[in-house]
Structure 1
Amino acid sequence: MTRRYAWLVFALSFGLLLSDYMSRQVLNAVFPLLKAQWLLSDAQLGSLSGIVALMVGLLTFPLSLLADRWGRVRSLVLAAVVWSLATLGCAVSASYGQMFLGRFMVGVGEAAYGSVGIAVVLSVFPAGLRATLSGAFIAGGAFGSVLGVSIGGVVAQYLGWRWTFAVMGLFGLVLAAVYGIVVTERKLAAADVGLGGAPDAAGWPVRTLLPRLFSSVSVLCAYVGSGLQMFIAMALLAWMPSFLDRSYGLATAEAGLAAGVFALITGIGMIGGGMVCDRLGRGNPHLKWTVAVICSTGSLTLLTAGFQLPPGAPQLVLVGAGILLSNATAGPAAAMVVSLTPAAVAATAMATLTLANSLLGLAPGPAVTGMLADRMGLRAALQVIPLVSLVAGLAFALGRRHYDRGLVSVSAWALRRSELPT
């Protein structure tokens, strides 16, 4: 395993992550066109976005376990082919029902990519780069969303909304083919030392591993707080093009590009939150929780104030600052989960975090916002949803209080496992 090949694995894995989120978020750029052509309600539009996240949430855990046993590369290539073909299916949809089925299959294909993809990346790099690579890989979702919304808006305006899905689907198929040729199970197996250098957990009984994923109050709080902050971030990501269209009168292309800037701000916040967390946490690990609490309460304050202002530059500045903090908790939450679960089950723990993010945030965020928008208007709905950050901040504060007890629990379990005969 050469350094050049390791970075090639990262680049291709990151590229597939971009394709993942481009295929997922391109729908948001064409919300106004679908609404006008098929006379859809905001709740129906939200469901087309939310069904992908719901399937990701439901299938992440079992498909991640399957990938560990069947082969990560084979699993990633198959997943990319499924979501790309499903995206092409969306391009030829003739009704809401057909589009819903296509989006359903997009979610099936994308279900385990995040957890399996990051496991592949971490397996070919030394431990000293893992925090940086994790933050960059997770932020790739935001950057893929930027590309999906921005490119989708431009393509939809000049070629029609069907071509937006066709472009994304073809890109994913080409990248999947390249990935399958360049990245092999043999080379990964030669380099893989396991996450954290821990013993391989593949042969351990599931009943032994699962309880460690929920063994402390702190790790549960990390799951809940991360998922609820994801609710805010995904709701804003899904509805910013429509908000800019309705409140600022922007055309589809301009609204998509502007919303892409806000998605880019989300990614920057994720990387920045992780960097701040790592720097402050070196001397005092409890400050990781403090960073998460500050991000939650900050996003609540800024977004609530921003959406109450009339359209204009001050509103966009406050909303942009709130979006910067809305998902800056992703890095701290991941660090907390890793520290509160045994290293031998780190990949499964990340899949569990993904599950919490999907069920609490990615799936309900866009759909709930759409239902509220049908009843009170989109702007009023966007004024209400930041209240979710209040609950997330309380969860992080509670996790901080019980953090030491959680660390003692995981250390004691690891010691008992090391003493068992091999």
Structure 2
Amino acid sequence: MSAAKISSTRILLLFLFMNIINYVDRQVVSGVLPLLKDHFTLTDTALGLLGTAFMITYTLTAIPFGAWSDRWKPHKVAAIGVAVWSLATVSSALAWSFASLFIFRALVGIGEAAYVSTASTILSNVYPENKRSGILGLFNLGMPIGGAIGVVLGGWIGAKFGWQWAFFLVGVPGLILAYLAWKLPLPKPVNAPTRPKFSLRELGVLMKNRAFFWSALGYAGISFAFGAIVLFVPTFFQRELGYELGTATMLAGALQVGAGLLGAPIGGYVADFWQKRDKRGRAYTLVLSMAASAILLWGGLLFHSLTLFFLSAFFMLWHVGVAASLIFDVTEPGVWNTANAFAMFMMHLLGDIPSPVIVGYISDKASLTTAFAVMPIAMLFASVCFWRASRHQSKESSKTPRLV
């Protein structure tokens, strides 16, 4: 099948399904967290380390995979990543100790780094710039949908058959999707220059781009809050609000997918609409949505209000297509994979690598409610960073080469 006959819709759907499985495999651990706590006799700090294990390897390998993608075929790099994380998820079912499970979850991070470093860039090349936030918002529906499925399936399968089966069953579908991605006959972007051998100097150039720097730092603030909350929210509902595990995972999944199905496309639409009138529109969208999410989360914790938790998640999930689009807005197409990977590196190093452990530690010393109360501070920090990014942003939009 020739590249000319590949529809952009087909590419979007394939990468959307891969992204759903991505978050299923990532968040299944959240659904079985109470079971793992009992099975391995773990503290909340140790449970937080399971999230950190994934993010450490994810962060360390994102930049090499991004640089490789700028110089080879991004969709094949993505396919390799999907295969690696799927095999690592299946292998998690064989864990015989906390240390072995830690290692398997760390291997999941390597696979996801290869995929995430490339997927958004491929779609940004397939679709025009004025649709970028909306398309990436649709693609990133994999976050709330897959995350919710992972939490719910993890809790349900774990309660019925044991946590081992939860890891095994959710890991298999990714292998099929990896094969389909490998077979896509996609060319390089038509205007993409031939890239020389990777040099750390490339990262230095990106760091001097102040709009990129503040955008990536804002991304880190989102990641700090979102990563810890998603990991612990079923446990929060069980422990702090008194729900049974099955009900807690179902509630957490429903809240996440409902907020995502509304928040991601609405956020993308608002950002694209604003962007047509002001080239800083995407940054301004993130400034407002992160501030709103922070205030609503504090209200939810104060009143134990599921409505306020939902609204906080709704505004939080406005970022899923918009923040990625902003990274592409402020960098050149020839380094998009590297820029995206570097942004992911900063996001995870400063965000959801430390935050699960911090939340777990505060929870051990005080309570999960107290630990969650720290998260809105990170959201407000993100809001300030995106405002700073807008101050350095060019008034001209980037030119986007297309694949098809």
TM-score (norm 1): 0.86
Q: Which moved more, 1:61-70 or 1:141-150?
A: 61-70
Aligned to 1:299: 293
Q: Pick from 78, 81, 84: which aligns with 1:79? A: 81
Aligned pair 1:200/2:200, yes or no? no
Consecutive unaligned residues of structure 1, counting only runs of 5 or more, are 415-422
Aligned: 1:271 with 2:265: yes
- Structure 2 distance, partners of 1:208, 1:49, is 31
Question: Structure 1: which amino acid aligns with 2:242?
Answer: G
Provide, for residues 235-273 of structure 1, a one-character-per-residue CA deviation record: whole Å limited to 9, x for no partner: 211111001111233232222221112222145323322
Between Structure 1 and Structure 2, how many residues are aligned? 396
How many Å separate the matches in 2 of 1:93 and 1:205?
Answer: 37
Match of 1:319 in 2: 309
* Identity in percent: 27
Q: Would you say 1:396 and 2:396 are equivalent positions?
A: no
Are 1:25 and 2:27 an aligned pair? yes
Alignment partner of 1:11 out of 10, 13, 24: 13
Identify if the C-alpha distance between structure 1 residues 346 and 44 changes in structure 2 by more than 3 Å, giving closer, same or farther: same
After superposition, the CA RMSD in angstroms is 2.5
Contact 1:139 1:267 in 2 (8 A): yes
Do structure 1's residue 230 and structure 2's residue 220 form an aligned pair? no
Q: Which residue of the partner structure matches residue 139 of structure 2?
A: 137
Check 1:337–1:2 CA distance in 2 against 1; reply closer, same or farther (3 A cut): same
**Cα distance, 1:301 vs structure 2:** 1.0
Q: What pairs with 1:150-299 in structure 2 (closer than 5 Å)?
A: 150-180=152-182, 183-184=183-184, 187-189=185-187, 192-194=188-190, 198-203=191-196, 206=199, 209-264=202-257, 265-266=259-260, 268-299=262-293
8 Å contact from structure 1 (residues 302, 318) kept in 2: yes
- Structure 1 window deviating more from structure 2 (54-63 vs 353-362): it is 353-362
Q: Does 1:102 align with 2:104?
A: yes
Look at both structures and tell me which one has the larger radius of gyration over its CA atoms: 1
The answer (yes or no) to whether the contact 1:224–1:392 under 8 Å persists in 2 is yes
CA-CA distance at 1:232 after TM superposition: 1.3
Say if 1:363 and 1:164 are closer, same or farther in 2 by CA, change over 3 A. Answer: same
Q: Write the letter of the residue equivalent to 1:11.
A: L
Residue deviations 1:44-92 (CA, integer Å, cap 9, x gap)? 1111012212221221111121234343343223222221121111111
CA distance in 1, matches of 2:200, 2:350: 25
Q: In the alignment, which residue of structure 1 is the partner of 2:334?
A: 344
Judging by fraction of residues, say which structure has more helix. 1
Change (3 A) 1:334 1:82: closer
* Letter matched to residue 373 of structure 1: S
Per mean C-alpha deviation after superposition, the further-off stretch among 117-126 and 89-98 is: 117-126
Alpha-carbon contact 1:32-1:242 (below 8 Å) kept: yes
Conserved? CA contact 1:61–1:355, under 8 Å: yes
Q: Please state whether the residue corresponding to 1:362 is helix, strand or coil.
A: coil
Map of 1:419 onto structure 2 = none
- TM-score, normalised with respect to structure 2: 0.90
Deviation of the 1:162 alpha carbon: 0.8
Asked whether the equivalents of residues 124 and 188 of structure 1 are also in contact (C-alpha less than 8 Å), the reply is no
Instruction: Determine if contact 2:22/2:146 at 8 Å carries over to the other structure.
Output: yes
SS in 2 for 1:188: coil
Q: How far has the Cα of 1:124 moved from its partner? A: 4.2
Residue type of the alignment partner of 1:160: G
Q: Distance in 2 between matches of 1:291 and 1:247?
A: 32
For the residues of structure 1 that align with 2:131 and 2:276, how far apart are their CA atoms? 15
Instruction: Encode CA deviations 1:139-163: one digit per residue, 9 max, x unaligned.
Output: 3222211111112211112111111
Higher-RCO chain (CA-CA 8 Å, sequence separation at least 6): 2
Task: Flag the 1:277–1:123 CA change in 2: closer, same or farther, 3 A.
Answer: closer
